[in-house]
Amino acid sequence: MILWATLGRRLVTAVPILCVVSVLLFTALRVLPVDPAAMSMPPNATKEEIEAARREMGLDRPLPEQYGLWLGRAMRGDFGRSIHHRRDAGALVRETLPGTIELALAAMAVSSVLGLGGGLLLFGLRERTMEPVAETVTTLMMSVPEFLWALLFIFVFGVALQAMPFTGRLDPGMKLPGLTGFLVLDAVLTGRLDILWSALVHLVLPAVALGLAFAPPIMRVLRASLIDTYHEDYIRQARLRGVSEGRILIRHALKNAVLPTLTLMGVQFGFLFGGSLLVEVIYSYPGMGNLMVDAVRNADLPIIQVVGLTYCVVVLVINSVVDGLYLVLNPRLRPR
């Protein structure tokens, strides 16, 4: 109940944030030295034809009026037409969003497993001879950006070992089930194990490339939190009561130390969602990131706008969920 109430409150406060972001986004894109009317026409269009297109797109009106018109349409789910694809911008984002969420969730799973496991390992190695080695490895992991991991994996697992596919979301010949757009879920819902397998195999390299880059901060925060927690009185008392070290770690220390890590993971998800841009391009992964890269390259303002807003909504939702989880895991924060 508390969780739902918190989520509800968070989502209500998200509305003004979304409005502010939409104003900023709209204004920023309109002041860019790019003419959407010209971009919507072929290069051999005359000035008169471009002016006609500008009037038709409402770009000759004052900026506040343009924003008002855009907002009115956006409230009705009409985000305009893509300049590049000449299709409904909202529909294009709806088609590609599930792929990116699926990739981000898979990458989050990878970075969580690696981050939490690595954090425990780092904590276990504290003040031992292997500690500097482990520190160096995490620093190295942190210094390699996701696109470099992506290219490295292609050459190792795609070219050298020829063990993994690295283009698309499914094997050729397989048709997308087209229920929710979340391939793994769709495969389960339709009972298609072949699609499930193919989707998972295609997710491995992009998810690991993306997840690896985000795992080291989780490792470090968990390690630091565990070290802090081990200085607490209740840990000492547990030891005095003869509780085993393993039980102290899992039952007492980890439960408290994981809270700051959870906050970090929430923040990380936002970055991870944005970080999928290059990884999607490198792996020919048909997600929102790939769409965004095309949109930026072609100055496709309606797409940039709706992708920007979607990103904002995803971050707000994730933050709300993390806040809710915080309350579930930490009773002290619950309202009395």
Q: Closest Cα to residue 248, out of 260, 268, 234?
A: 234
Residue 69 vs residues 72, 124, 147, 241: alpha-carbon distances, Å = 5, 59, 39, 68
Minimum CB distance to another protein, residue 125 (Å)? 25
3-state secondary structure of 81: strand
Residue 55 or 251 with smaller CB distance to another protein:
55
Minimum CB distance to another protein, residue 208 (Å)? 13
| Residues 229 and 253 sit within 8 Å (Cβ to Cβ) | yes
Residue 76 or 86 with smaller CB distance to another protein:
86
Minimum CB distance to another protein, residue 82 (Å)? 9
Token reading at 54: 């500008």
| Residues 310 and 88 sit within 8 Å (Cβ to Cβ) | no
Tell the burial category of 1 from Cβ atoms under 10 Å away from its Cβ (0-12, 13-18, 19+): exposed
Residue 73 or 87 with smaller CB distance to another protein:
87
**Which residues make up the interface to another protein (CB under 8 A)?**
33-35, 38-47, 49-50, 84-87, 92, 95-96, 151, 154-155, 157-159, 161-173, 175-176, 197-198, 201, 204, 280-287, 290-291, 293-294, 297-299
Residue 87 or 236 with smaller CB distance to another protein:
87
| Residues 158 and 150 sit within 8 Å (Cβ to Cβ) | no
Q: Closest Cα to residue 317, out of 15, 24, 109, 83?
A: 15
User: Cα(204)–Cα(201) distance, rounded to whole angstroms?
Assistant: 5
Minimum CB distance to another protein, residue 206 (Å)? 11
Residue 184 or 281 with smaller CB distance to another protein:
281
Minimum CB distance to another protein, residue 302 (Å)? 14
